[in-house]
């Protein structure tokens, strides 16, 4: 049981890292990136291919982060000068292009994927390895949390929130909004690449079906639950993923319905809970404190 819980928390940490990257783009800058999973896939495949060809794991992870960020740069430059809707359309299409390329390219494994990827702390004994892996991942998540907070509490972060609230107003103050948006897109995508590298070296196997577009919407849901603060985005995603995993076992308690019906009912219940949450806590469970102050002031004035 303990190794299973460690594995669950480790996956939660990976998804929390994805949430931190997406929250930087969406929660703090207002960029709707519907293809976020593509950068997760790029990080996973880049790190896997490099280590399978003899590159040290840490070096491969750094290169994977750089690749994910570099790929995001031209996407941002091409789309962010236009209306924000174009970014959502282009990134969603880009994610599908990446998935199809991975599915049909033989030198990256095609539909069979890549196997034999060196695992994190592979030389350690199997009974202690999951806990060492979990500790390392949680340390990385904590470091990313601190750095993300420092970034968004700086003058740079205040400009990002100004762009999110009104890009026109930010431009009227002399801010080059497109440049700020591109940097936010690159940094968030680089975090997705880091999460992908950790993911690949934890499970030791990657394939295109692991990077379904629905994963992006799961991360969006986690941010909505937690709120736009970095802590809220990370914890909200962890709670959501844990709830999704825990409810799988409800089908084993002898309910008089089939497994397929239970799967649909489970998603329905989760959807209803999200609706209730959004009615009661519109800003999420742990909103960014500036937004909470604005909401309280607005409600008091009304």
CA-closest candidate to residue 247, choices 226, 276, 271, 277:
271
Distance CA 25, CA 96 (A): 20
The reply to whether 101 falls in a domain is yes
On whether residue 64 sits in a domain, the answer given is: yes
d(CA 299, CA 251) in angstroms, rounded, equals: 43
Residue 106: partners with Cβ closer than 8 Å, 6 or more residues away: none
Q: How many domains does the chain have?
A: 1
In a domain, 294, yes or no: no
pLDDT for 34-81, tens place per residue?
999 999 999 999 999 999 999 999 999 999 999 999 999 998 888 877
Q: Is the confidence at residue 30, as pLDDT, over 70? A: yes
The answer as to whether 263 is a domain residue is: no
Position 170 in a domain: yes
Burial-class residue 288 by CB neighbours within 10 Å (0-12, 13-18, 19+). buried
| Residues counted in the chain | 302
User: pLDDT tens digit string along 229-257?
Assistant: 888 888 888 888 777 776 666 656 556 66
| Residue 160 maps to a domain | yes
Model pLDDT, residue 100? 93
CA 148 to chain centroid, in Å, comes to 14
| Average per-residue pLDDT for the chain | 85
Q: Flag whether 87 is in a domain.
A: yes
pLDDT band at 197 (very low <50, low <70, confident <90, very high): very high
In this structure, the number of other CB atoms found within 10 A of the CB of residue 96 comes to: 12
> Measured at the alpha carbon of residue 284, what is the angle toward residues 281 and 289, in degrees to the nearest 5?
105
Domain with 79 in it: 2-211
Report if residue 77 sits inside a domain: yes
């Amino acid at each position: 049981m303990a190794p299973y819980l460690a594995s669950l928390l480790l996956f939660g940490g990976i998804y929390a890292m994805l949430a931190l990257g997406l929250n930087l783009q969406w929660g703090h800058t207002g960029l709707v990136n519907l293809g976020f999973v593509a950068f997760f896939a790029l990080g996973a495949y880049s790190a896997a291919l490099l280590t399978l060809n003899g590159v040290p794991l840490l070096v491969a992870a750094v290169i994977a982060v750089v690749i994910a960020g570099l790929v995001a740069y031209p996407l941002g430059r091409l789309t962010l000068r236009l209306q924000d809707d174009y970014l959502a359309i282009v990134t969603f299409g880009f994610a599908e292009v990446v998935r199809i390329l991975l599915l049909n390219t033989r030198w990256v494994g095609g539909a069979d994927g890549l196997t034999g990827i060196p695992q994190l702390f592979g030389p350690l004994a199997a009974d202690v390895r999951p806990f060492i892996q979990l500790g390392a991942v949680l340390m990385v998540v904590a470091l990313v949390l601190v750095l993300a907070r420092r970034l968004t509490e700086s003058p740079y972060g205040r400009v990002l929130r100004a762009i999110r609230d009104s890009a026109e107003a930010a431009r009227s103050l002399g801010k080059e909004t497109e440049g700020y948006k591109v940097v936010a897109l690159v940094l968030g995508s680089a975090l997705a690449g880091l999460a992908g590298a950790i993911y690949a070296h934890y499970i030791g196997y990657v394939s295109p079906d692991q990077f379904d577009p629905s994963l992006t919407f799961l991360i969006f849901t986690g941010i909505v639950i937690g709120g736009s603060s970095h802590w809220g985005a990370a914890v909200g995603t962890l709670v959501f993923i844990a709830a999704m995993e825990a409810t799988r076992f409800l089908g084993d308690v002898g309910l008089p319905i089939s497994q397929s019906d239970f799967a649909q009912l489970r998603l329905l219940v989760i959807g209803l809970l999200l609706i209730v949450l959004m009615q009661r806590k519109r800003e999420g469970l742990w909103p960014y404190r500036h937004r909470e102050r604005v909401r309280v002031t607005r409600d008091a004035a009304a």
